[in-house]
Amino acid sequence: MRSDPQSPRTGFAAEWHEVTVQYPFTKWQAVGPVSLAVRPGERVLLLGPSGSGKSTLLLTLTGLVPNSIPATVSGDICLFGANVTTRQPWAWAAQVAQYFQDADQTLCGMRVEDEIAFALENRALPPMRIAECVTEAMRRVGVPESWRSRPTSTLSGGERQLVALAATLVQGAPLFVADEPTAHLAPKAAGRLHALLTECDPHRSILVVDHRLEGLIQHIDRVVVLGRDGTILAEGHPRDVFRTKRDLLASEGIWCPVASALDARLEEAGLAPPVTPLSVAEALAHIDPGTAPREHVEKALPAVEAFVAEYRVRSAKTAPGAPILARLVNADCAPFLGPTVLRTIDLAIHEGEVLGILGANGAGKSTLGLCLSGLLPLKAGSRTGAQGGYAFRRPENQFTAATVRDEILDALPKRIAVKAKAECVADTLAAWGLSGLESRHPFELSQGQKRRLALATLTSSDRWPLLVLDEPMAGLDAHGVAMLTNEILALHDSGRAVAVITHDMDLTLRLCPRSVIVGEGGILADGPTQELMKDMALLRRAGLAEPSCAEALQWLQRGTSC
């Protein structure tokens, strides 16, 4: 499938023509054949399930694949009318700014202001001009002045991502390429990033891969959807694609805007919005309780209620008298080799509870999770209760064996018989959708598979009555998130306590009856998630945002009160 075949090739900012990519020692093509073009000033969103080759496709754009990352690439790739092979990858930096999935792929280990200045130094711009650009980029992205002289190694993962964004934006390149820029960002920072990406600039083209579509999709000119085989499944304006291809996207496990689900329900009710909505507000605009006919509102009520019900907490609330499984009392928490970031923490988690841990980037959520699980010693205070298991944000850190099978075997109790162990391994792999991957090295798996394997090793035995999951959904496609959500609910049903550290407000609302909001060196709030989500002042203070369904809830309140 070819994108916009009528346009002249020289008029494109970027173009792939019948491009295929195959990595060494693999039997399948990672990408393609793909033909895709991006016009000057166009904002293109690239969607696709995990492993469909989106990141690889972006890396071919300036020749990093195959020049720096070995692979076999066929077909033609052009940038601004010139074949990409005519220059070395570094020579395209003035034309193409690349923001990678992992901030560590962008940052080089300098101080914050030096990181941001790096690309401009490479272009030999005058120092005064560089200083101005750095200050402006920091202001736009929201990097505080106090970070200017800090080494990037002292920043948290989310903070590094902000600096990486500033370091990429400062290039002022006519083509900006971003690979999952919001994967680890708190809602407020993600909103700011989307605003920066999509601010009106007729001379800048944007090509972005992102799973978090709210706040972004309204500003996208064209959506291109890659299938699991690395070819283009669908493309067009978001308003066309997300209505006409809705079922196809859902079956492929590809993220759609939240409004798509509401659009589908309203369509079933015979009240489809006149144009495909890209936000909940758009979906409900034509049935506003204040202006729309009453019968329309009443007809829409069940559809909206059903939509909101999707966001209600699915796990049952913990019984009031449930015993406490683990407790932090007056605890001071600090990361490994770092200063104390949380003070006088009092937090308890009960048996069978699913607890949400929310907060801005760098608030100390991971540190709190590690302390709660008992894996990180406290600086002060005490912890009581059972030892917990921890699923790291980077699942690779959990893998110690050479094969997927051995990872599961290592996690099983030693006393089990060999035959029973083999059966247990097979059952675990099947339960987590990892069958057929037994002999693969854990590092060879896709990101979603790695996360599932990490959780499988933690849940294959009854050793951990408490599990702390650090951003378990980051970077996963819709299928992966749905599967993981069901697994977490199954863990809850089995009586285990689960603490979920996340930036995803919708997920928290669905999974966690109770949440704590971390910020300002302590716990800002602890209570029922639904109540916390209504407190806009608190959410703003903590750098969070209300969940996607908030507008639908408000509509329901107005609709039922009329």
Partner 1 sequence: MAATGYLMLKALHPLSKLLVCAVGLAASVLVFDARFQIALIVLTGLSLVVLNRTSPLLLLALMVPFCLFGFGFLTTSLLFRQDSDFATRMAGEAFLSSPAFSAGLTLFLRAVACGIISVFFALTTDPGSLVRALMMHARLPPRIGYSLFAAMLLVPDLASEGQQMRIARAMKTGRRIRRVPGLGEVISLVIPLLAFAIRRAGRTAVALEARGLSPDTLRTVTNAPRFRRSDAFFIIAALGIIGLCVAAAVSDVALRQSPSLPQVRHAYYSASNPDPVFCSVQLSELLKVFAQGDRVTTGADCNPSALTVCLVCPASYACSDRGQCFPADLHDGGNGSLAL
Q: Which is nearer to partner 1, 115 or 252 (CB)?
A: 115
- Shortest Cβ distance from residue 561 to partner 1 (Å)? 51
Q: Which is nearer to partner 1, 313 or 408 (CB)?
A: 408
Q: Which is nearer to partner 1, 44 or 64 (CB)?
A: 64
Instruction: Name the packing angle between helices 157-169 and 112-122 (round to 10°).
Output: 30
- Shortest Cβ distance from residue 2 to partner 1 (Å)? 27
How far does Cα 541 stand from its chain's mean position? Answer: 22
Q: Which is nearer to partner 1, 59 or 226 (CB)?
A: 59
**Euclidean distance between CA atoms 488 and 176, whole angstroms:** 37
Q: Which is nearer to partner 1, 168 or 548 (CB)?
A: 168
- Shortest Cβ distance from residue 451 to partner 1 (Å)? 14
- Shortest Cβ distance from residue 457 to partner 1 (Å)? 8
**Euclidean distance between CA atoms 97 and 91, whole angstroms:** 11
Q: What is the dihedral of CA 406, 408, 411, 413, to 10 degrees?
A: -90
Q: Which is nearer to partner 1, 196 or 269 (CB)?
A: 196
Q: Which is nearer to partner 1, 149 or 486 (CB)?
A: 149
- Shortest Cβ distance from residue 28 to partner 1 (Å)? 22
Binding stretches for partner 1 (CB under 8 A): 59, 62, 64, 68-69, 88-91, 93-94, 98, 100, 102, 104-111, 113-114, 117-127, 130-131, 151-154, 167-168, 171, 335-337, 370, 375-377, 387, 389-390, 392, 394, 397-400, 410-411, 443, 457-458, 463-464
**Euclidean distance between CA atoms 341 and 360, whole angstroms:** 13
Q: How far apart are the first and last CA of the chain?
A: 50
- Shortest Cβ distance from residue 108 to partner 1 (Å)? 5
Q: Which is nearer to partner 1, 176 or 255 (CB)?
A: 176
- Shortest Cβ distance from residue 91 to partner 1 (Å)? 7
Place of tokens 């009854």: 462
Q: Which is nearer to partner 1, 38 or 517 (CB)?
A: 38
Per DSSP, helices labelled H in 399-511 are 404-411, 418-431, 447-459, 478-493, 505-511
Residue 157, judged by CB atoms within 10 A of its CB (0-12, 13-18, 19+), counts as: buried
Q: Which is nearer to partner 1, 87 or 299 (CB)?
A: 87
Instruction: Name the packing angle between helices 404-411 and 418-431 (round to 10°).
Output: 120
Cβ atoms of 178 and 239 closer than 8 Å: no
Residue 24, judged by CB atoms within 10 A of its CB (0-12, 13-18, 19+), counts as: exposed
- Shortest Cβ distance from residue 339 to partner 1 (Å)? 13
Give all strands (DSSP E) within 170-270, no chain letters.
175-179, 205-209, 222-226, 232-236
Structure tokens given for 127: 């120092």
Q: Which is nearer to partner 1, 125 or 482 (CB)?
A: 125
Half-sphere exposure of 258 (CA within 13 A, CB side): 24
Compute the 3-state secondary structure of the chain and give helix, strand, coil in percent, each to the nearest 5: 40, 20, 40
- Shortest Cβ distance from residue 399 to partner 1 (Å)? 8
- Shortest Cβ distance from residue 13 to partner 1 (Å)? 17
- Shortest Cβ distance from residue 107 to partner 1 (Å)? 7
Structure tokens given for 483: 């599967």
Cβ atoms of 108 and 118 closer than 8 Å: yes
**Euclidean distance between CA atoms 525 and 183, whole angstroms:** 24
